[in-house]
A and B are shown apart, each in its own frame.
Chain A
Amino acid sequence: MLQKKKKSILENWMKNQLVYEGLREDLISNDELRIQSEKLIDALVANLSADGINDLDSEKWSPVIEILGGISITRARQGFSPRETGNFIFTLKEALLLVLQEEIKDDPKTLYEESLKISRLMDNLSIVTFETFIKGREEVILRQTDEIAEISTPVIRVWEGILALPIIGTLDSARTQIVMENLLQEIVNTRSSIAILDISGVPAVDSLVAQHLIKTVSATRLMGADCIISGIRPEIAQTIVHLGIDLSSITTKASLASALAYAFKSMKLEVRRANTVQKL
């Protein structure tokens, strides 16, 4: 019965979707929306039969779920809000119910039963929509986490034999591991003899962070390189002293500039202002 009414369901649905004020014409064009909707209805109606309606796990529904999942994931990536995505499926439910109402006007009992079935089906489909929508979002978050981990631990070669490693954000065990690996590898690759760990961007230095720093410094020393910790702010210096952490075995400097100056000195390099202006 619903198969015959496919056309009118689609029309109703499109109307509903277009009426909805939150329609994002900036994110999706009407034509595209129509194609998406048509595809879903085709799959839905083709699989709509009396016996399978209650069992969403059955294989018959997998094409519908696939299409729906695809749409939800694309929407999550395009930046739709959950409400807008949910609305997509809820307006379809309304359209279906409207058609049912017109068709079975005279028999309230059948109308009620059929509506209930459709409701249940559409509710299940909305759950699928949300699950995939959230999964789509989570993928975005996961990708960003990876990106952050990647960009947050750069090793910079500031001079022949001098590496600088600005640390930004909290230094937890996982970060320390990445930092240490990158640093040690880079020491080998560039044959550097001095590494500067800059902690200006670390919001708080507690005993665990200090322990991680000490470990990193020890590891660098084992590689035969010297490690300087720079960027110790006044309030952090006071806190470390009160905490009772002994960092006296490590060379520490207040700023990256003074750490660099120290590194130059220990490499017997000198930076001077040139007397004559040279052409660059």
Chain B
Amino acid sequence: MILSLSKDAIEIIKEQDVVLFRNRLKETAIRIKMSLVNQTRLITAASELVRNMLRYANGGMCLIEIVTRGRDNGIRLTFTDKGPGIPDIALAMRDGYSTGKSLGMGLPGSKRLVNEFEIKSQAGEGTMVIILKWSHG
């Protein structure tokens, strides 16, 4: 049973928003006393996904939620965009695959950095990625 405690939506339109978003995320992570390593992992994963959003979908929305499952708190991030969508998710999740000229580590890498990772995409309609990181774990 996962309960959501607080919600905070941030719009990502330009590259400068990434810095603002990352700072907000860091504040939230510090508030729930997330360990430094987990903070860095979450922020890095989020940063990958936000960059994807900017690069392939010209921006989108990000929802920062503090969630709890009893004694443990965590942060859940929901990224939604109205971009072209990902036609083959299995391929996109493979290490080293990229349609742009990047390293192709963004999606698979961020999956390895967080506890829960969910991706839904509809070609032509957009993509939604939900990640969750517990403060200890």
Chain A residues with a Cβ under 8 A of chain B? 170, 172, 203-208, 210-211, 234-236, 238-239, 242-245
Contacts and interface: CB of A to CB of B under 8 A. Distances in A.
A72 B36 CA distance: 47
Interface residues of B, number: 25
Interface string B21-45: 0100010000000001101110110
A205 B44 contact: yes
Contacts, number: 66
A176 to B, nearest CB: 13
A207 B106 contact: yes
Given A170-B19, A204-B47, A206-B44, A244 B37 contact: no
A243 B40 contact: no
Q: How would you classify the secondary structure of chain B's contact residues: helix, strand, loop or mixed?
A: helix
21 contacts: A204-B22, A204-B40, A206-B47, A206-B48, A207-B48, A207-B103, A207-B106, A208-B106, A210-B103, A211-B102, A211-B103, A235-B37, A235-B39, A238-B41, A239-B37, A239-B113, A243-B105, A243-B112, A244-B108, A244-B112, A245-B109
Q: Which 4 pairs between the two chains have the least Cβ-Cβ distance?
A: A243-B109, A235-B40, A207-B105, A206-B47
A169 to B, nearest CB: 8
A202 to B, nearest CB: 11
A188 to B, nearest CB: 27
A57 B36 CA distance: 58
B22 to A, nearest CB: 7
Contact of B40 (A172, A208, A238): A238
Given A207-B102, A207-B109, A239-B44, 9 more contacts: A203-B43, A207-B106, A238-B41, A239-B41, A242-B113, A243-B109, A243-B110, A244-B112, A245-B103
Contacts of B11: none
Contacts of B36: 235
Nearest to A173: B15
Interface of B: 15, 18-19, 22, 26, 36-37, 39-41, 43-44, 47-48, 51, 95, 102-103, 105-106, 108-110, 112-113
Nearest to B26: A203
Contacts of B108: 244
A80 B22 CA distance: 31
B106 to A, nearest CB: 5
A234 B113 CA distance: 15
A203 B46 CA distance: 13
A99 B93 CA distance: 74
B51 A206 contact: yes
Given A208-B51, A245-B103, A234 B19 contact: no
